[in-house]
């Protein structure tokens, strides 16, 4: 595996690969890699000749009271995992490479679709996320980019942005990887103490309850209500939102909706904030 730290070298590497008829898959990450990330890498290897993984903790997508300073930075361990997964290039730029002071990249806005749910809880987060993803796309110029389905609103917004600014780039959504008890894998799971970790499984149980209601011919409104009740069984879990949305618009579905929707949830356990989602069929 080759490690590249500068934007110019990264672009030159991919330009040469393309000139030689190779396709490039890109997996952008913030590091602290776990099995969920590695599943994206394995998918990327099946989709292209060359796999590039970036590790960059983006300051623009952290709010004033969020965990930018404590976000885990484990570059050496991450590099070992990526080498074992047969990644071709680890792109590990500094902030000045991503955001050069003499040539600031285009600042993107998430707009209406980025306002509810995560956008309401984390103002400015999606603007920063889209800005860095667009910048990384400009540097890496991949043929395909892979994102995890756990961050549903992020994937929705990236697909919107790519369709406008990178129309030749294919965005692939990879399935969420879960722990033995259903908890979605996340870099933030390491913040949970043992008691909090046991509680965290209740989040995926709430989503599963949505599908159980749908299977019993219940309504979307009943599913959301019963899922919220599952969370309420554990007062230590602080629910931020739970909604059933249309994955094509990211707007809440009506109470008597029929068809495929997405149950999305965000909750806090102690100081740790977790999100998850599950596709539901009514």
Residues with active-site annotation: 37
Burial of 101 (0-12, 13-18, 19+ CB in 10 A): exposed
DSSP alpha helices (H): ranges in the chain?
Answer: 7-19, 35-47, 75-84, 95-98, 118-121, 125-140, 152-165, 194-215, 220-232
Q: How far apart are CA 66 and CA 82, in angstroms?
A: 27
Q: Using CA of residue 38, residue 81, residue 15, residue 131, what is the dihedral sign? A: positive
Q: How many CB atoms lie within 10 A of CB 27?
A: 28
Strand ordering across the sheet containing 260-269: 251-252, 237-246, 260-269, 272-281
């Amino acid at each position: 595996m080759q490690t590249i730290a500068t934007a110019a070298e990264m672009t030159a590497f991919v330009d040469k690969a393309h000139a030689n008829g190779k396709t490039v898959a890109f997996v952008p990450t913030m590091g602290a890699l776990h099995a969920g990330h590695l599943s994206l890498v394995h998918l990327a290897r099946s989709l292209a000749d060359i796999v590039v993984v970036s590790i960059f903790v983006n300051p623009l997508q952290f709010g004033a009271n969020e965990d930018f300073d404590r976000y885990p930075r484990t570059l050496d361990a991450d590099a070992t995992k990526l080498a074992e997964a047969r990644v071709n290039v680890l792109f590990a730029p500094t902030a000045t490479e991503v955001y050069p002071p003499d040539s600031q990249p285009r600042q993107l806005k998430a707009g209406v679709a980025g306002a509810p749910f995560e956008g309401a809880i984390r103002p400015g987060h999606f603007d920063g996320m889209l800005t860095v993803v667009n910048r990384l796309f400009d540097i890496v110029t991949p043929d395909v980019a892979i994102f995890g389905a756990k961050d549903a609103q992020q994937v929705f917004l990236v697909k919107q942005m790519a369709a406008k600014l990178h129309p030749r780039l294919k965005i692939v959504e990879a399935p969420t990887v879960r722990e033995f008890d259903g908890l979605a894998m996340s870099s933030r799971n390491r913040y949970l103490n043992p008691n909090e970790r046991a509680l965290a499984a209740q989040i995926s149980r709430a989503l599963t309850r949505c599908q159980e209601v749908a299977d019993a011919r219940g309504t979307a409104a009943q599913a959301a209500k019963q899922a919220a009740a599952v969370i309420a069984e554990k007062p230590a879990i602080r629910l931020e939102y739970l909604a059933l949305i249309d994955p094509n618009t990211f707007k809440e579905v009506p109470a008597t909706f029929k068809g495929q929707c997405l149950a999305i949830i965000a909750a806090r356990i102690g100081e740790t904030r977790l999100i998850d989602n599950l596709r539901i069929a009514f």
